[in-house]
Structure 1
């Protein structure tokens, strides 16, 4: 692999770009002499260059082929996915051109799980090209999410639960399905798109998974038995380490963050951090009940509210009770922040005792990397199954609600907060011990040199890809 070329093709959403940036850094650490190129579009190339410049990574921009099905200005998430697939012809020209321009280097393509079909079959007759897929989720979340899509239309039993043909011991409740899955009939746009990705998974040379072997042994064992024994490499966790001076997307340093300044004044382990990520919002009525529950709980909190549109079509929510923010700030009990939050640093802060999260896999791993237990409110996609494994397998999460349409009361919020922060809560003590154990696993994967190290796993992947030409 000494002189090979690794081509990374991420889906253009922050939750997918962040793991790919960590993956690029991991590859650079394993193979300093390898050439690395990230593929984007003409519209995202400048942003990618800014993000990857410090890593010595090149950027190649593909133009959309409007004749291949691009929707022009996508309005819904599925439109973005379908538009991204229209990059397939350009990508299939790019890789052979790359080989011809530098024939001494083998090319190892790693695509995002939602772009797997875009790279499927590229340069099929060239033994110097390998094709792998990065699951930006964990193993368990990916196994359940994609196998459910592979089983549509879904037919519930009398308890409104679904059994997966490939995993008969796993039951999924209707409340753990996105609306897209509930409505899927196998020929709709979502079903056909996801099934194209699954077919590409099964033909890939390898699956890379954003997790660690000892963090998710069950999930990692499920993937190969489902996907025709495609080799699986747990190269995660693909996370940025906490730093007191890491730049934010808005070029603001964490040293000036009002959130961290407020946390500096709070007792150790006393604060609930609340954030639903950069792409999801809750409704006005849910916001009201969450605020009432936080106030009723009596515990300290930081609540980050992003003024971003929801990927499922919603907009920024209102619903904050009148005077709530002022009361909490005056009492020194709470901070409502409408700004970018340095999440890794917030979770690593000594004052942070728990995290109320939508259970996106990046957020979940960041929490575990800090040894912080969670209150789960999954909203979409595989978040339901991340919450499921963290609650049932890892014991590091208390599930508060499920889905964007969940009816949640202030009393339920207060009860959940008390369970994870209450001084006399037995649940809190057990969750903190298990979260500390998960932190040790993540530390060993990120910084160790044993077989569970992500560096060792990545080297194994690169060696395996190099051997395929022999």
Structure 2
């Protein structure tokens, strides 16, 4: 596709402000590339913290996309996620000065701020300046975002009259969620706690935004986008996704040399391997890891399990401490499985012909990567909106079977073996149906990512930028 060459009377400077976690930085990098594709004449700046700026610069392969670092040294070194959220609000004054400085140095340039959903309160730092627009990017999908944020907007949650284990949503009265689909701090929220007050500040910023961008596609999540539009009916919504990089295959020799994981996969039959990963922030407990290990062995199917050594935001132990003695060595020597205690090239793993299914925590980036490869999922959501991602993947898309819910779920090896058989068993009807559905979802995603129509990522991003240019012009 030829780059968009329309020029506006005033130049554009698009300022992207992601939250500092990897799962948020990645979609913003993709959005920066999309904006560059649609507006080659625009300036683009990604705002980072001092701790993430260098890695962002290294990963942005476009020299015309700059990175501006804000000083960030939170006094509390706690690993609790809410403490990091609250500390991030201290970035607001420095961000405000940055935007004011941009406008002062070049008054003829319109500034379009796109803030992460967890730094949404920074999106209105220059409210009142007609040359600045303020939008928010939901790095999650439409369905997960609609349920997650509307639940927080309804705390304290009130159980249904006929079932005290389920809760209806005032914003969506025809829907309910089960207690097992609530992360612990949401189930305990009373409206005055730190989580409630922080997230409600973000929700309030959503309703004041000039636009809401969502990391999904219109045909991928029609129900979720409809729910968001029903809830935030006065805010234009632009599904700019999928914000996802494609698999980058090197030559077979180089791939094998650089990645033992991919080299191991090269030796397996097509569609025969279950890939297991709970993302970069979450882990399961040692006892859960024991049952998972024994269930994988009992299933008889091959697996690749990436064990994260990092601390978990749920404060769980590393699952490596729950692996049965000699399990990893026994599985590898028998050719049954590979336990990898290192970073894995997940996009390439999912795109590999040997990968037949993905046991995942249902984080939205991971779910999208699986859909992009046409790989069915076994869902084990652990926190946040992951429960509702699992719900839409299973109930609306038909590409996921749910194994467990939450970091304290009691999972047995028999349940694990049964779920693996459903998605990898040669005679499993579930497997056949899920593979068909996954292939359909891959086509939808490919069309959104690679196409040039109005509902493609490029088309929607172009419409968003045009709308922001009109908003600025009307305000002058």
TM-score (norm 1): 0.95
Q: CA offsets, 1:365-390, max 9 Å, x none? A: 00000000000000000000000011
The equivalent position to 1:23 in structure 2, one of 31, 43, 63, is: 31
Shift, 1:41, TM fit: 2.0
Aligned to 1:228: 233
Q: CA offsets, 1:194-214, max 9 Å, x none? A: 000000000000011000100
The equivalent position to 1:276 in structure 2, one of 275, 278, 281, is: 278
Aligned to 1:13: 21
Aligned to 1:213: 218
Shift, 1:244, TM fit: 1.6
Aligned residues: 460
Q: Decide which moves more: 157-166 or 337-346.
A: 157-166
Structure 1 position 242 matched with structure 2 position 247 = yes
Aligned to 1:163: 168
The equivalent position to 2:182 in structure 1, one of 156, 177, 183, is: 177
8 Å Cα contact 1:245-1:254 kept in structure 2? no
Q: Decide which moves more: 171-180 or 43-52.
A: 43-52
Aligned to 1:113: 117
The equivalent position to 1:312 in structure 2, one of 306, 311, 314, is: 314
Q: Secondary structure at the match of 1:269?
A: coil
Aligned to 1:132: 135
8 Å Cα contact 2:214-2:239 kept in structure 1? yes
Q: Secondary structure at the match of 1:25?
A: helix
The equivalent position to 1:37 in structure 2, one of 23, 32, 45, is: 45
TM-score (norm 2): 0.94
Structure 1 position 93 matched with structure 2 position 97 = yes
Shift, 1:51, TM fit: 2.3
Shift, 1:53, TM fit: 4.8
Aligned to 1:249: none
8 Å Cα contact 1:214-1:441 kept in structure 2? yes
Structure 1 position 76 matched with structure 2 position 84 = no
Aligned to 2:196: 191
Q: CA offsets, 1:425-454, max 9 Å, x none? A: 000000000000000000000111222210
8 Å Cα contact 1:7-1:36 kept in structure 2? yes
8 Å Cα contact 1:451-1:457 kept in structure 2? yes
8 Å Cα contact 1:254-1:342 kept in structure 2? no
Q: Secondary structure at the match of 1:175?
A: helix
8 Å Cα contact 2:286-2:318 kept in structure 1? no
Shift, 1:166, TM fit: 0.9
Q: Decide which moves more: 446-455 or 387-396.
A: 446-455
The equivalent position to 1:458 in structure 2, one of 458, 461, 473, is: 461
Distance in 2 of aligned mates of 1:63 and 1:324: 45
Aligned to 1:421: 424
Q: Secondary structure at the match of 2:60?
A: helix
Distance in 1 of aligned mates of 2:140 and 2:426: 33
Distance in 2 of aligned mates of 1:468 and 1:255: 52
Structure 1 position 56 matched with structure 2 position 59 = no
Shift, 1:241, TM fit: 0.3
Structure 2: gaps of 5 or more residues = 1-6
TM-aligned CA distance change 1:442 to 1:182, over 3 Å? same
8 Å Cα contact 2:76-2:83 kept in structure 1? no
